Amino acid sequence: MTGRFSIEAVTPAVAAGRYPAKAVVGELLPVTAVAYREGHHALGCAVRWQGPADPEPRPRVRMRPGAPGLDQWHATITPDGVGDWSFAVEAFDDPYLTWRGAVAKKLAAGQGVGELANDLAEGAQLLAEASAVVPTAQRSRLAAAAAALTEPELALAARVGPALELAELLWAHPLRRLVTVSDTYPIWVDRPQALFSAWYELFPRSEGAVPATEEHPAVSGTFATATQRLPQVAAMGFDVLYLPPIHPIGRVNRKGRNNSLLAGPDDVGSPWAIGAAEGGHDALHPDLGTPADFRAFLAAAHANGLEVAMDLALQCAPDHPWVSAHPEWFTTRADGSIAYAENPPKRYEDIYPLNFDNDPDGLRAEILRVVRHWVDEGVQIFRVDNPHTKPLDFWHWLIWEVKRTDPDVLFLAEAFTRPAVMHGLAKIGFSQSYTYFTWRNSPAELREYCTELVAAADYMRPNFWPNTPDILPPALQDGGPAMFRIRAVLAALLSPSWGIYAGYELFEHVARPGAGEYLDNEKFELRPRDWAAAEAQGRSLAPFLARLNAIRRANPALHRLRNLVFHEIDNPALLCWSKRDPGTGNTVLVVCTTDPRTVQWGNTTLDMPALGLDWHEHFTACDELTGVRYDWGQRNAVRLDPYLWPAHIFTLHPAGQAPAATDATTAQVADATTAQVADATTAQVADPSTEAVVSPVGPGADTAVEPGGNPAATAARETADGPGDARPARKERRWSS
């Protein structure tokens, strides 16, 4: 904007303020602007902001200038309640800063009392004027400084010194002239779970199910049997339990196993083919239980610290009640039939898409009724299926109609589509968004994509999923267990929100030939799993996932997106990044391999100011996976073995100050190889002939294991003794970058 002063490029602003920017309660929200004026007089800028419960604007937040010469201004505000917020940027003439700068330059140039006579008099007048805007308790300071400026008996330094020392006070309470105000920009503030959450998807009908045999028909799991799974999901540290559609499933054109066109008598069909004689989107599948059973399931989930997310799939089976009652809500083909869903070569004969153009008011009213029905039942998160196949103006209307009465309700957009559409859905109001993370594999791809997401953080909150019932990416098909750990680390620590589909912790990886989805897909059949046996036998990733989620919860730096910073590392198979919470100083630094088969080495060059450190400083890096501590600086060598630990997850501490080292053979060694690590460690310690290496390491060095050495024993012994231990080793290697 151009007024008395120019104010431009204000952020956060989505579509020039057409849609609200996004934040969550407690988030440090950066506000920036470009503002400038003519000449050399000082300009001041401030943020004027107001929350939904504020009768008047809050105290202004003074903005600080950015890099010299760029006229950029920066401030941070922290919304503390859910709802509609707004802000504007003010630019103003700051006469005290102008006066102070001019006097400082003249003093430095050697000017005396005679040459500064007008400056001294003008300064006294400014301070008298400024006394009206500073707190009452500080007015005596201004009066004393003004008196000193006009006291001829004092030396020049004594006359101007008290006035120059008012800089901090008059920065916080400036004298403001010629105030220019920008446009007002909206912000919608959600509860924290809109940004930071860990999702787990399961099919209730598979939990406790009994597949069909020649003697007995299949028995579906229920809400009651699925309740028994809740403590295990909670123990892994997930806080959102996502359920695929739990409504009646159509019988007409029902799909069989592996998406077969012909369904047998025991085939349960796809939950996304919604609607049958028993009801539609506001009904429950009778095999799962009654409304009372569902309420009991919700209560049990909440008791376990889980919030239930429901699937909102706006499509119908051919026998959905809407098809006969409202045929105008669908598309009729030339032959009079209703069009089913197609995405060639895929055909979904069991699903009729909705048509939002024939009776938009009637269809909108019914969908709003359905959503509010489930909100009244206690659901406050909706994972929306394929929102990109419905009009965006419909979603904009629906989301804000719901939030008008229920502001805590969140909507996750499951949209794997064109970038502009994905970003458009986020702009119009979706709380979170699925992303392309599933197909970004190399460090270069991940770095580029995450940088793009950070740039869109004013409106788009990513949720990283390594897999879904529909998507088994190639990396998981052939990467082995190490790749499952790698993708979990990347998803959980790059993004504040992440999720997995059940079976991930069992390393399920067999794809249906010719399709990038699971063989014997759970979308079309019951798939009970013996979770307890897998974990007892060491075939489960659950302990590792639990450790990742525990690290996430314990470190506020990982609760945010805007603070993601990538660091240089000289191996293209490795990715290095950090997150820092400026409020607490909590800092997490991660180095992760993307190669599931080969030991990788690399040398870091860290952006030390991004870690809250000066370039020359050292720090203690405590690996939260193993408990091993390292003395690190800007340049460090790392070695990652994907068969043991695919990543370092460091919390940073002042040099020499870190939590006590823990034993890598205890439960803190949380991954599927725990038993093997413990066994190997015992054997290695008992047998001194084993060629395991524990190297004393110096600053900037990671730990080495010689070829033929046992990585598990090395990790365990390092943890017990700590890097730099003087204990003799059979072999030693020192290196530095």
Integer Cα distance of 567 and 449 in angstroms: 15
Structure tokens at 340: 């089913």
Phi and psi of 192, rounded to 5°? -55, -30
The answer for residues whose C-beta is within 8 angstroms of residue 18's C-beta and 6 or more apart is: none
Q: Is the peptide bond before 12 cis (omega within 30 degrees of 0)?
A: yes
Beta strand 72-77 with 185-190: parallel, antiparallel or unpaired?
Answer: unpaired
Structure tokens at 265: 């008598």
The answer for residues whose C-beta is within 8 angstroms of residue 16's C-beta and 6 or more apart is: none
Integer Cα distance of 424 and 419 in angstroms: 8
Angle at 437 between CA 433 and CA 438, to 5 degrees: 110
311, 385, 525, 624: the catalytic one is 385
Q: Is 385 a catalytic residue?
A: yes
* Burial class (CB within 10 angstroms; exposed 0-12, middle 13-18, buried 19+) of 217: exposed
Question: Of 564, 568, 507, 569, whose CA–CA distance to 535 is shortest?
Answer: 507
Question: Of 484, 492, 487, 589, whose CA–CA distance to 237 is shortest?
Answer: 492
Q: Containing H/E element for 29?
A: strand 29-36
Question: Of 384, 223, 369, 397, whose CA–CA distance to 309 is shortest?
Answer: 384
Structure tokens at 228: 């028994």
Structure tokens at 527: 């798939």
The answer for residues whose C-beta is within 8 angstroms of residue 108's C-beta and 6 or more apart is: none
Integer Cα distance of 234 and 254 in angstroms: 34
- Please spell the DSSP secondary structure of 314-359, one letter per residue: -EE-TT-HHHHH-GGGS-B-TTSPBPPEEETTEEETT-EE--SSSS
* Burial class (CB within 10 angstroms; exposed 0-12, middle 13-18, buried 19+) of 282: middle
414, 505, 508, 631: the catalytic one is 414
Q: Is the CB of residue 705 less than 8 Å from the CB of residue 639?
A: yes
Q: If you count DSSP H runs as helices and E runs as strands, how many of each does the chain have, helices first?
A: 19, 31
Q: Containing H/E element for 85?
A: strand 83-93
Query: Which active-site residues does the annotation give?
Result: 385, 414
